Chain A
Amino acid sequence: MGLGLLADPLSVTMLLFVTGVGAFIHMYSIGYMKGDRDFSKFFLYLNLFVLSMITLVLGDNLLVTFLGWEGVGLCSYFLISFWFSDEANATAGKKAFVTNRVGDWGYMVGMFLTWTVVGSLNYVDIDAKASTISGVTATALVLLFFAAATGKSAQIPLFVWLPDAMLGPTPVSALIHAATMVTSGVYLLVRLNPLLLQAGWANDVIAWGGGITALVAATTAVAQHDIKKVLAYSTISQLGFLFMAVGTGSFVAAIFHMVTHAFFKALLFLGSGSVILGMSHEQDMRRYGNLRKYMPITAGTMMVAWLAISGIPPFSGFWSKDEILGGLWTWHGGSFSARVLWALALLAALLTAFYMTRLIILTFFGSEKWRDPVNLEPFDAVPALAGAHGDDDDAVVVHAAADAGDAADAHDHHGLTVDHTPRESGWLMTVPLIVLGALSLIGGIINLPWHSAENLSRWLHPVLAAEHEGPAGIEVAGLAAIATVGALIGLALAYLIYAKRRIEAAKVEPELFARAWYIDWAYTWFSGGPGRVAWDAINWFDHHVIDGAVNGAAAVAQGTGRVVRKVQNGQVRSYALGIGVGAALVLGFVMVRMTW
Chain B
Amino acid sequence: MVSTLLAAAGSGPAFNVLPWLVGLPVIGMVILAFMPNARDDALRIVAVATSAATGGLAVYLLSEFRTGEAGFQFVINRTWVEALGIGWHFGIDGISLFLILLTGLLFPLSIIAVKPDHDAKLYYGSMLLLMAGCMGVFVALDLVLFFLFFELVLVPMYFLIGMWGHGNRTYAALKFFLQTMFGSAFMFVGIVATAFLHQRGSGGPLTFDLVKIATDQSIATTSARWLFLAFAIAFAVKVPIFPLHTWLPDAHTEAPTAGSVILAGILLKLGTYGLIRIGLFVFPEASHYFAPLMLTLGVIGILYGAICSAMQPDLKRVVAFSSVAHLGFIILGIFSITVQGLDGGVVQMINHGISTPALFILIGWIYERRHTRMIDELGGLQRAAPIFAGFFTVAMFSSIGLPGLNGFVGEFLTLLGAFKTARWWAVMAASGVILAAVYLLWAYQRVFHGPAVGENAKFRELTLFEGAVLVPLVIAMFFIGLYPKPMVDRIEPSVKALVTHIGEHSNADVKDIPAPQAEASE
Mark A residues whose CB is within 8 Å of B: 1-2, 63, 66-67, 69-71, 74, 77, 81, 84-87, 89-91, 93-94, 97-98, 101-102, 104-105, 108-109, 111-113, 115-116, 119-120, 393, 404-406, 535-536, 538-539, 542, 546-547, 550-551, 554, 563-564, 567, 570-571, 574-575, 578-579, 581-583, 585-586, 589-590, 593-594
The residue of chain A having its C-beta at the shortest distance from the C-beta of B446 within the complex is A393
Contact of B170 with A116 in the complex, beta carbons under 8 Å: no
User: B418's closest neighbor in chain A, by CB?
Assistant: A112
CB proximity of A558 to chain B, nearest CB, Å: 10
Is A85 touching B182 in the complex (CB atoms < 8 A)?
A: no
Tell me which residues across on chain B come within 8 A of A574, comparing CB atoms.
Answer: 177-178, 181
Q: B382-406, CB under 8 A of A: which get 1 and which 0? A: 1100000000000001000011100
**Contact partners of B397 in chain A: CB under 8 A:** 74
A44 to chain B, nearest CB (A): 11
A90 pairs with B307, CB closer than 8 A: no
Question: Using Cβ atoms and an 8 Å threshold, which residues of chain A touch B519?
Answer: 1
B431 interfacial contact with A, CB 8 Å: yes
Which of chain B's residues have a CB closer than 8 A to the CB of A70?
402-404, 408
For the complex formed, measure the closest distance between the CB of A206 and the CB atoms of chain B, giving whole angstroms: 21
Tell me if A108 and B433 are in contact (CB < 8 A): yes
In whole angstroms, what is the CA distance A325 to B433 when docked?
38
Please give, as numbers and ranges, the residues of chain A lying within 8 Å of B197 by CB-CB distance.
590, 593
Query: Which of B193, B408, B427, B431 sits near A590, CB closer than 8 Å?
Result: B193
- The answer to whether B452 touches A85 (Cβ under 8 A) is yes
CA distance A542 to B515 in the complex (A): 43
B441 touching A116, Cβ below 8 Å: no
Which residues of chain A come closer than 8 Å to B200, judged between CB atoms?
A: 593-594
- Least CB distance from B444 to A in Å reads 8
In the complex, A69 Cα to B404 Cα: how many Å?
11
| A80 CB → nearest B CB, Å | 11
Which partner residue on chain B sits nearest A144 by CB separation? Answer: B427
Query: Separation in Å of the B307 CB from the closest CB of chain A?
Result: 5
Number of interface residues of B (CB under 8 A): 70
Do residues A564 and B170 form an inter-chain contact, with CB atoms below 8 A? yes
Contact call A102/B446, Cβ cutoff below 8 A: no
| Contact digits for B88-118, partner A, Cβ 8 Å, 1 yes 0 no | 0000000000000000000000000000000
Q: Tell me the bound Cα distance from A85 to B200 in angstroms.
A: 70
> Which residues 141-196 of B have a CB within 8 angstroms of A?
158, 162, 170-171, 173-175, 177-179, 181-182, 184-186, 188-189, 192-193, 196
B475 within 8 Å of A by Cβ? no
234-265 of chain B: CB within 8 A of chain A: 243, 245-247
A7 to B380, CA, bound (A): 44
Can you list 5 A-B pairs, Cβ within 8 angstroms, ordered by A?
Answer: A84-B382, A393-B442, A393-B445, A393-B446, A564-B170
CA–CA, A93 and B382, complex, Å: 15
List chain A residues, Cβ under 8 A from B451: 85-87, 404-406
CB-based nearest A residue for B188: A582
| A582→B185 contact, CB < 8 A | yes
Q: Digit string of B421-460 for contact with A (CB within 8 Å is 1, else 0)?
A: 0000011001101100110011011101111100000000
- Chain B minimum-CB-distance residue to A98: B437
By a CB distance below 8 angstroms, the chain A residues around B433 are 101, 104-105, 108
Does the CB pair B185–A81 fall under 8 Å?
A: no
Is A67's CB under 8 angstroms from B404's CB? yes
Which residue of chain A has the shortest Cβ distance to B448 in the bound complex? Answer: A84
- Which residue from chain B places its CB closest to the CB of A85 in the assembled complex? B451
Q: Which A residues lie within 8 Å of B185 (CB)?
A: 578-579, 581-582, 585
**Bound CA span A594–B220, Å:** 12
Q: Please, which residue of chain B has its CB at the minimum distance from the CB of A545?
A: B243
A113→B416 CA distance, assembly (Å):
9
Report A45 CB to chain B, min CB distance, Å: 12
Across the interface, which residues of A come within 8 angstroms of B427, CB to CB? Answer: 109
Within the assembled complex, what's the spacing in Å between the Cα atoms of A113 and B426?
11
B299 at the interface (CB under 8 A from A): no
User: Are A108 and B522 interface neighbours, CB within 8 A?
Assistant: no
**Given known contacts A105-B434, A536-B311, A116 and B188 CB-to-CB distance under 8 angstroms:** no
For B495, what are the chain A residues with a Cβ–Cβ distance below 8 Å?
Answer: none
Complex alpha-carbon distance, A86 and B451, angstroms = 6
Do A535 and B310 touch across chains, with their CB atoms under 8 A apart? yes
Starting from the known contacts A1-B521, A108-B430, A589-B189, 8 additional A-B residue pairs (CB-CB under 8 Å) come to: A94-B442, A112-B426, A119-B518, A535-B310, A536-B311, A538-B307, A546-B245, A585-B185
Which residue on chain A has the smallest CB distance to residue B303? A538
Determine how close the nearest CB of chain A comes to the CB of B198; give it in whole angstroms.
12
Q: Can you list, as one digit per residue, whether each of B502-517 has a CB less than 8 Å from chain A (1) or not (0)?
A: 0000000000000100
B448 shortest CB reach to chain A, Å? 7
Give every chain B residue within 8 A of A571 (Cβ-Cβ): 158, 174, 177-178
B450 pairs with A84, CB closer than 8 A: yes
- Asked if residues A90 and B445 are in contact (CB atoms below 8 Å), the reply is yes
Residue on B with the closest CB to A585?
B189
Evaluate contact between A97 and B437: CB separation under 8 angstroms.
yes
Q: Please tell me if B223 contacts chain A, counting CB pairs below 8 Å.
A: yes
CB distance from B518 to the nearest CB of A (A): 5
List residues of chain B with CB within 8 A of the CB of A585: 185, 189
Give the residues in chain B near A84, CB-CB below 8 Å: 382-383, 448-450
* A578 and B184 form a contact (CB under 8 A): yes
Contact at A582–B189, with CB atoms within 8 Å?
Answer: yes
With a cutoff of 8 Å between Cβ atoms, the chain B residues found around residue A554 in the complex are: 175, 178
CB distance from A418 to the nearest CB of B (A): 29
Tell whether, in the assembled complex, residue A546 and residue B430 are in contact, meaning their CB atoms are under 8 Å apart: no
**Cα distance A115–B226 when bound, in Å?**
36
A101 to B184, CA, bound (A): 40
Residues of A within 8 A of B416 (CB): 111-112, 115
Q: With A1-B521, A85-B451, A578-B185 in contact, do A105 and B430 touch (Cβ < 8 Å)?
A: yes
Partner of B450 from the list A87, A109, A116, A594 (CB cut-off 8 Å) is: A87
Is B123 interfacial (CB 8 A cutoff)? no
- Report Cα–Cα, A67/B412, bound state, in Å: 12
Q: Is B370 an interface residue (CB 8 A)?
A: no
* Cβ-neighbour of A91 out of B170, B383, B445 (below 8 A): B445
Which B residues touch A67, using CB under 8 A? 403-404
Residues from chain B with Cβ under 8 Å of A120 in the complex:
518
User: Would A94 and B441 be within 8 Å (CB), given that A550-B179, A554-B178 are in contact?
Assistant: yes
Q: Is the CB of A564 within 8 A of B171?
A: yes
CB distance from B329 to the nearest CB of A (A): 12
Instruction: For B335, list chain A residues within 8 Å (CB).
Output: none
Tell me which residues across on chain A come within 8 A of B452, comparing CB atoms: 85
B480 within 8 A of A: no
B311 proximity list for chain A (CB < 8 A): 535-536, 538-539
Complex-state Cα separation, A572 to B175, whole angstroms: 14
Q: How far is the CA of A586 from the CA of B186 in the complex (A)?
A: 9
Contacts of B448 in A (CB 8 A): 84
- In the complex, whether B304 has a CB less than 8 A from a CB of chain A is yes
Q: Is A98 within 8 A of B438, CB to CB?
A: yes
Q: Which residues of A contact B310 (CB under 8 A)?
A: 535
Kindly name the residue among A102, A105, A108, A550 whose own CB sees the greatest number of chain B CB atoms within 10 A: A108
Partner of B404, one of A71, A91, A104, A594: A71
Residue pair B243, A546 in contact (C-beta under 8 Å): yes
**Contact yes or no, B192 A590, CB < 8 A:** yes
Name the one of A115, A551, A578, A590 contacting B181, with C-beta atoms under 8 angstroms. Answer: A578
Given the known inter-chain contacts A66-B403, A112-B419, A542-B246, please indicate yes or no for A567 contacting B181, CB distance below 8 A.
Answer: no
> Which of A71, A542, A574, A585 has the largest count of B CB atoms less than 10 A from its CB?
A542
Min CB gap B94→A, angstroms: 20
What is the bound-complex CA distance between A109 and B423, given in angstroms? 10
Distance (Å) between the CB of B320 and the closest chain A CB? 12
Assembly CA distance A85 to B433 (angstroms)? 27
* Complex CA–CA separation, A140 to B380 (angstroms): 43
CB distance from A63 to the nearest CB of B (A): 8
For A83, give the chain B residue with the smallest CB separation: B449
Contact of B174 among A101, A109, A404, A564 (CB under 8 A): A564
Chain A nearest CB: distance from B241 CB in Å?
A: 12
A404 to chain B, nearest CB (A): 8
Q: Is the CB of B307 within 8 A of A586?
A: no
Q: Which residues of A contact B189 (CB under 8 A)?
A: 582-583, 585-586, 589
